[in-house]
Amino acid sequence: MKDALLEVRGLRTVFETRAGRVCAVDGVDVEVRRGECLGIVGESGSGKSVTFSSVMGLVKSPGHIESGTVVFDGRDLRGLTPREMRAVRGRDIAMTMQDALTALNPALTVGEQIAEVLEAHDETLPARGAARRTAIRNTSVEMLGLVGIPSAETRLKQYPHEFSGGMRQRIMIAIALACRPKLLIADEPTTALDVTIQAQVLELISDIRARLGMSVALITHDLGVVAEHCDRVMVMYAGQVVEEGPTAEVIGAPKHPYTQGLLASIPRPGLRGQPIHPIEGQVPDLIGLPPQCRFYSRCAHRRDACLTPVEMRQAGPQRRARCILIGEDEA
Amino acid sequence: MTMTADTPVASESIFRRNLSNFAANRLAMACALIVVLFAVMAVFAPWIAPHDPNETDLFRRLQPPAWIAGGEWSFLLGCDALGRDILSRIIYGARISIFIGLAVIFVATTVGILAGLAAGYLRGWVDILISRLVDILLGFPYLIFAIGLMAMMGPGLWNIILALAYKEWVIPARVVRGETLVTRELEYVEAARALGASRWHIMLREILPNVLSPVIVVATIRMAHVIILEASLSFLGLGVQPPTASWGSMVSDGRAFILEAWWVSTFPGLAILLLVLAINVTSQGLRDAFDPRFSE
């Protein structure tokens, strides 16, 4: 078994709002192994983005990490000083933002934006002068080539508004990869793109992952994307992980009623003409949640035992799910 | 994948596109030309001015402009009470007005940008401190404030610049703070943080280029104000000291003879009017070009 590159244990991130305390991430464990692609699936507000903002130490005020450990490559990230943490961001862990259209600075050329990351992190560059500039330029051209942008030389001098949406997503990936990070966090890399471009960008990420041997945490709400590109998947609901395991197993035989519901609500060609079954009800309000199964109000299998806190249970050699049905009678 | 045919090969920044918008506005361009002419006049004053601005000639005391009986063509706009050539003094006075205008705006904009970025990006006590200071300074009437400072520091070129810059920086500071508050929430700032950028890097490299356009517009509008304020201080005798020519003090000098020798006050007054008007129209053109929300 491959060893863990990123290991998060018992992460709890809370936001102090006027309406009360919102526990956006509640006791989440994440493990990203070397070279693997982990998919993180969940609805908006399920805590998937906040989990990874917490890993990066970028939770915005009024939010803060209340407890938990974040160990990356043997180092405890929560114990680092802000300066040390800055060195990790971009060099060891890089993140791409949801919306490629707004995630590039409109006032700087693409070349300048790639150069910035290299300037900040790349210690192999020559100290200064023309040699440094040439080295930065060569790396930038190489990165644009890597993400499949033609005539990189001229493209470096252009501004983001001169590129299409898919191209900008590629550029953002190029910037994120410029320092060869060990882990790429791709936060919904395809939401702002149309379907054909989505496939290209995901292909690109998979391809580069294989070539550079890095790990990828792919945050998405699309189980189809996960099925195609991820080794393992982690399903989140209302700030908790509800199920995790190898992608094929989770999608083939979901254990948690929420995962089952998610899969049932995807339209499929084989089910043409049949109604889609959405999950009834709403995601619970994260303020003042009772200590019970968070899926209780929407679950078809709910029973009185669900009104006590439900822990993650082992559901197979590499699988865990947060449901009392597991180990009982195999629902 | 190939580049589509309509992809521009020559790159164009938003800034440059704005400038070409500006160039299309004829009135603004004409006024910009006037401003440039004044600037050229100021820089090359020793070569352009027909006479030494401080050379007195009591035989030419209050000599009228050339086209009025008693005038001479070599003293086109006439002479003042000490027989000094008014045209030459206006040309040299442009140096004072433009230099003070530029210096004050430069100091104020630099300080204002840094203060605004710090307040808008760092928030917290830095913001409270800077914003309250801005509020306090805005509460003082500008001219009274400057007069008070000049009274404390004494007259002189550098003191005027300081006295005006002390208060002037709040204007760009407020503009930059407001723009920074918007910009700091944008995804590319978040992306820069996720790539390990430091606070200073984010403020100066990521945010500043995006808030520069309104700052440039405000700086030009305020330059016109500063020129008027300098003229006001000089008019009150708190500005540049005699015999150095300043438009404000020239208007003041002519006050005593306004009925018999109107030209002594009128021509420097017109110079102020023309320059300030030209700068204002230019800045409005810049605003229209840089901020599409204002253009009709």
**ipTM of the shown complex:** 0.77
Residue of chain B with shortest Cα separation from A120: B197
For residue A282, what is the domain's CATH number?
3.40.50.300
CA distance B21 to chain A (A): 17
Q: Which two tokens stand for residue B241?
A: 């000291």
Q: Does A58 touch chain B (CB under 8 A)?
A: yes
Whether the per-residue pLDDT at B139 is higher than 60: the answer is: yes
- The boundaries of the domain holding residue B271 are 39-290
Query: For residues A240 and A322, what is the distance between their CA atoms, to the nearest angstrom?
Result: 9
User: Can you give the length of chain B in residues?
Assistant: 296
Q: How do residues A30-40 score in pLDDT, each as one tens digit? A: 999 998 999 99
Cα dihedral value B210, B214, B215, B221, nearest 10: 170
Residue A64 covered by a domain: yes
**Higher-pLDDT residue of A87, A280:** A87
Task: Note the Cα A193 to chain centre separation in Å.
Answer: 17
Residue-averaged pLDDT of chain A:
86
This prediction has a pTM of 0.79
Q: Which residues of chain B are within 8 Å of residue A107 when distances are taken between CB atoms?
A: 13-15, 209-210, 212
Domain encompassing residue A2: 1-80+222-267+277-331
In-domain check, residue B154: yes
Kindly report whether the peptide bond that precedes residue A62 is cis, defined as omega within 30 degrees of 0.
Answer: yes
CATH of the domain at B267: 1.10.3720.10
Q: For residue B182, which residues of chain A lie inside 8 Å, CB to CB?
A: none
Please judge whether B210 and A107 are an interchain contact, meaning their C-beta atoms are less than 8 angstroms apart: yes
Domain count, chain B: 1
Is the minimum CB–CB distance between A296 and chain B shorter than 8 Å? no
Strand partners, A82: none
CB pairs under 8 A between A and B: 94
- Residue among A56, A120, A172 whose CB faces B197 most closely: A120
Q: Do A90 and B197 touch (CB under 8 A)?
A: yes
Assign residue B234 a region (left: φ > 0; alpha: ψ between -120 and 50; beta: otherwise): alpha
Q: Quick one: pLDDT at residue B14?
A: 66
- For residue B227, give the nearest of B121, B63, B98 by alpha carbon: B98
- Residue B52's pLDDT band, with cuts at 50, 70 and 90, is confident
Q: Is residue A44 part of a domain?
A: yes
Whether A158 and B191 lie within 8 Å, measured CB to CB? no
Query: To 10 degrees, the CA torsion angle through A47, A52, A56, A59?
Result: -10
Q: Are A99 and A191 in contact (CB under 8 A)?
A: yes
Note whether residue B4 is domain-resident: no
Q: In B, which residues are within 8 Å of A99 by CB distance?
A: 187
Give the residue from B188, B199, B205 with the most A CB atoms within 10 Å of its CB, the best one to mutate. B188
Residue of chain A nearest B183, judged by CA positions = A105
* Amino acid B12: pLDDT: 60
Q: Is residue B19, in this structure, part of any structural domain at all?
A: no
Instruction: Check CB contact under 8 Å for B195 and A116.
Output: yes
Chain B interface, Cβ < 8 Å to A: 1-3, 7-9, 11-15, 186-188, 190-198, 201, 205-206, 209-210, 212
Residue B110 CA, chain-centre distance (Å), reads: 14
Of A90, A103, A107, the CB nearest to B209: A107
Residue B279 lies in a domain: yes
Residue B8: partners with Cβ closer than 8 Å, 6 or more residues away: A158, A162
Predicted confidence at residue B186, as pLDDT, reads 87
Closest-CA distance of chain B to residue A279, Å: 32
* For testing contact with chain B, the best of A91, A95, A105, A164 (most B CBs within 10 A): A105
* Interchain contact, B191 vs A151, CB within 8 Å: no
Domain count, chain A: 1
Phi-psi region of A116 (alpha: psi -120 to 50; beta: other; left: phi over 0): alpha
Asked if the model's pLDDT at residue B273 lies above 70, the reply is: yes
Q: In chain B, pLDDT over 90 holds for what percent of residues?
A: 36
Q: Quote the tokens at residue A84.
A: 């040390």
CB A189 within 8 A of CB A20: no
Kindly report which listed range (A149-158, A161-170, B65-74, B264-273) carries the lowest average pLDDT score: B65-74
Strands A20-33 and A183-187: unpaired
- By the 8 A CB rule, do B65 and B78 touch? yes
Stronger pLDDT, B291 or A167, i.e. the higher one: A167
Task: Please give the Cα distance from A324 to A245 (Å, whole number).
Answer: 17
Residues of A with Cβ-Cβ distance to B193 under 8 angstroms: 58, 89
Does the pLDDT value for residue A180 go beyond 60?
Answer: yes
Q: How far apart are CA A314 and CA A243, in angstroms?
A: 10
